[in-house]
Each structure stands twice: as structure tokens, then as C-alpha cells.
Structure 1
């Protein structure tokens, strides 16, 4: 009989980080089965690493209920959707000289570890459609979050003629079809965020048409208040950085700053990180530290898997999906 990924993990992942992976996956399944909802946070370059191939299925199967991601992960999933076959793989990236790196720049190839994103086919192809969406909002005196503009592009099928992969493999498209809540803290440091800033500097747009980070926090706070009445809310963090730091703070903000003392703690916590435990590092902090900040309770199931998220996350998702 052919062995499944789930049975393989249960048979061989018995110690150390492998066991942490198994226990975190089991607890995730238990959390969802028992009326729980889950936030997933995406740092790093998980979209360029093509996590969308399995994350999209997690979204379709209602295993994810809200996402916090960097602006880069939001846009790079779309760039992969419209330009994947133009990407260039660099297998010897550790051996590249500064001159070779400079040559990639001259060719319009922006490197992320072993993958170069082509400026012409990805960034430039996205530039004109997103400009038209922003222009329409300005003309109508409308304001939207960064992810809502992307949702408009996708749901109005503006980008469909450019699809370059199976659209089922895009997590943002899957999220758009479900109108999944997304928060994108620090969006302005992304390529599209930089582009919008440049248009504002050139007086083509007003910054007002894009809702900001404070509004994202208010949006998240309202979502958490509403959903936590009936559901326990879990927190599954891929990597470190602002995509995780920003949303986890909503609980102490509600309970301490607003004074809603009965706000539930996050009911599950898992982080996949290659940042080892270190002094003063948030990404490298063990989960128990979050108890002191009012984010997690002492009894919250807590897991940390010190490994490469491009390996760990697909395995956990496959386990949750019973693949």
C-alpha cells in the first residue's frame, strides 16, 4: 500500500524538531476540529517559495480563517501567478560574485536566494493594472486596504489573461474568492508599496486612498472581538518579523489598552523559524516569553520548530489536509 504523507510523518517524525512538527500539526487539527479558527502569518519569501500550491488548498478547505502577511508575500504570489515561467532559478547562488549579482540587476532580474523575479514580466506587468485600480478609487473618492485592491484585480478578472500557472496554486486568488480577511502591516516597504509612494510623491495619487497600518489594527481588533465570542483563535507563525509581531499584539491591546479584560488569549501558538533562541530577539524568543506580555496563557498549546519553513510548512499543511 502506498504510504501517505500523514502516515510517513507519524511513523518517522519521532524526536526533536521532527516531533515538534508532528505535535504542532496534531494540535492544529484538534484546534480546528473543536470549533477553532486559525490565523496564519507569512514572513520571508514564502510566496516566491511557492507555498501557494498547498496554502491555497488550506484556504479552500477552511483550515485558515485570516492571514497576516508582508506586502512582499501579497504581491509576490500574484507575480508568480502571472510570470512564473519567466523566473530564473540560480542553483549556485552561494557562489555568485558581486559582478554576477550586478549583471542580474542590469538584466532586470531581482534575486531572492535561488530565484530571480523578472522585472519586465512580473513587476511591470502588474504596474499598469494596479495603477488603473488606484485611479478609479481616487476618482470615486474611495479608500481600500492594500489587499482589497489586489482582490479587485483578481475578482474582476483583470489579470486572468496573464495567468502563467494553474490559478489553483495562487493562495491570494483562493483568499480573494473566499473574501478571507488579510492584514498587511508595513505594506509600504513592498515593491507595490514603493510604487504607490512614488506616485504620491509625483502628486498622481493621494495617500488617503490606501488605508494604513493603524486602520489594519482596528480592522483586526474588530475581527478578533467578533470571532472570539464563539471560536477559539489560534496563531500559526511562519518566520518572524512584522507579519507575526503586528497581529499577535491585538490581544494585549484589547485587554490592557482598551480594558476589555475578558478578551481570550490566543488559544494555540506555533512558530516555524530558523532564528535560534537568542538574547533580545523577538523572532528567537521562546513562546513562554509571550505569557508575560499577555498574548498567550500558561496553558496555551505552544510549539516552536527551529527549521526551514519551506520544508516544515508544506509537511504540516499536508498532515492537516490528510494527504
Structure 2
């Protein structure tokens, strides 16, 4: 199937955003063939949009070498893994009345665009399972990063009886299998982050059990310094926001603040349906990043102004199709 999609793109995608999609995919492939290592960043609601269907295969094929994601994307892949059959799709979500939204709330359905995450079967189920690992970290005095707790939960086998999708469809399971470096800035801005904080307020948990953003930036700096000493480093950004901005800023931090020389990112692609304009947080054009020392002036740059749920699987299929 991937080979057929690749041939379709090669034949039909010749102009405008379609041509940029093909150019970006070919540039990604050229970059990997030259020994490059790719950072992929996930903003938006990509896990609930089931991007894992294609991203997991990319991870297992060794075409993604690290991921920076929001706390929502980290947890929502777990939610989907254990509660997929209980999700409710709302095709006509654009036309819901306020009363219909209230009715979804009363049914325990948290809406993410056209899909509702079931509170009890997804969020509370994961909470009860992962809370044990949080409490162990507190008791043992061994704090961990948010994604390390997720990896620990997956490896414990305690989720197996709850799986509702094939494991090959979960990008987080694929990342766990490969011990992929993950970076989750602003994890507190997530459902599990809120739950963890509520436990701290109650006195049942301690903030010291959870490592946070500075720890992630330290880990990211080490990853980039070690990787860029041997490989060109690339940046594939889905959406905008903290996932993209946090990761790409590691280069000027090392170069300008730490005063060490590391090369800039050598490939850059952003998929966003945000209107591209100077000053737009999600849609700032790549040239602006040159002035901040994030990407080099000769870095291949691609901006695809379209829905990532359409574009990313096509690019992934293209790369997997040879």
C-alpha cells in the first residue's frame, strides 16, 4: 500500500501544497540517507486523531529518532490504547448546540473536535494504573520524567488486559519498544498533569516525584550535543506551540547561552493549517528562525499549509513506500 501511495504522490502531486508535500518527503528521505537523525514534534490532538496508525511504523522503521510532544499527545495515545472501543465520534461536531455539548459532558464524554474521549473508560482507567507508579516514585525517592512513567506502565504488563487496538497502531508503544528519547515540555498542561497536581494539593503526592521542564531541556541538550557530533539533525514539526518551540530552541541555548558550538538543524519541515504570518506563534515562517540561530541559512525548509491528519500520513507512507 505504501508503495502505491508513493507512486500516486510522485505522479499527481506537482504544484502548490501538494508539490511542497512531495518535496518535503523527498528531502526527508535524502536527509536520512545522508545519515541524518530526525526530531519529530507533535502538537494539536494528533494522538486522538490516531496518527499512531502511521507514526508507529515510522518509529519502528527507524525513521524517527526522537519526539517532542505535548502532555496531551503523550497521554491520549495511552487513552486510545485502552478505551478505543468506547470513543464516540461526532461527525457533525461543527453544528452542535451548547445544550448538546452539555449533554456530552453529562455523559462523561470529553470532545476533541470530532471525537469524544470517555472520562471513566480512558482517563480514570489510566489514572488508577499510573498512579501506582507515581506513588512508588514518591516512596522510593526516585523521581522520573512523565514519559518514563508511561514507559514503565507499558513495560509492567498491567495494560495488556485493557488493550483495544493492535499494538502496532500505538506510537507510544513503538517508542517504548525502542526506548525512543521523548521530551514533554509543559506536561502540567494535560489531564494527567492536573490529576497529579490535585494529588499534591491533597497531600497524597509530592511535586518532587515528577521531574519537569528544565530536566527535559537538560536531556534534550545532551541528546542534541551527542547526536550532532555524529549526524546531521533534522526537525519535522507537526503544528506549532510548545512542542515545536521548546525543541527547536535547544540550538540557540547551546550556542548562545552555553557558548558551545553545535551545528544548527539541517532539515526543517512544518505542517500547519495556521495562517502563516510573521509573529504568528504557530505559523511563523522558517526564515524567521534563521535570525534566532535555530536553523542554518542553507537548511532545506518546507512549510505545508494543510491539515496534519491528511499530510503527515501521506509523507510517512511515501517514506515507507520504497
Question: TM-score band (shorter)?
Answer: over 0.9
TM-superposition CA deviations, 1:130-183 (whole Å, max 9, x none): 110111111111010000000000011111110011111000001001100000
Distance in 1, Cα, partners of 2:98 & 2:190: 24
Distance in 2, Cα, partners of 1:175 & 1:91: 31
TM-superposition CA deviations, 1:4-40 (whole Å, max 9, x none): 0000000000000000000000000111111100000
Query: Bigger CA drift: 139-148 or 280-289?
Result: 280-289
Distance in 1, Cα, partners of 2:316 & 2:206: 40
Write out aligned runs for 1:20-39 (5 A): 20-39=20-39
Shift of 1:114: 0.5
Cα 1:12–1:225 shift into 2, 3 Å: same
**Unmatched 5+ stretches in structure 2:** none
Determine helix, strand or coil for the equivalent of 1:67.
strand
Report the equivalent of 1:151. Answer: 151
Distance in 2, Cα, partners of 1:5 & 1:95: 33
Report the equivalent of 1:63. Answer: 63
Moved over 3 A (4+): none
Distance in 1, Cα, partners of 2:148 & 2:127: 16
Question: Aligned pair count?
Answer: 322
Report the equivalent of 1:263. Answer: 262
Report the equivalent of 1:241. Answer: 241
TM-score, normalization by structure 1:
0.98
Shift of 1:285: 1.0
Distance in 2, Cα, partners of 1:235 & 1:216: 17
Report the equivalent of 1:193. Answer: 193
Distance in 2, Cα, partners of 1:60 & 1:221: 24
Cα 1:21–1:105 shift into 2, 3 Å: same
Determine helix, strand or coil for the equivalent of 1:211.
coil
Report the equivalent of 2:321. Answer: 322
Q: Is the CA contact (8 Å cut-off) linking 2:3 and 2:318 kept in structure 1?
A: no
Cα 1:53–1:18 shift into 2, 3 Å: same
Report the equivalent of 1:272. Answer: 271
Write out aligned runs for 1:125-140 (5 A): 125-140=125-140
Report the equivalent of 1:176. Answer: 176
**Unmatched 5+ stretches in structure 1:** none
Q: Is the CA contact (8 Å cut-off) linking 2:108 and 2:118 kept in structure 1?
A: yes
Determine helix, strand or coil for the equivalent of 1:189.
coil
Distance in 2, Cα, partners of 1:94 & 1:118: 20
Distance in 2, Cα, partners of 1:295 & 1:278: 18
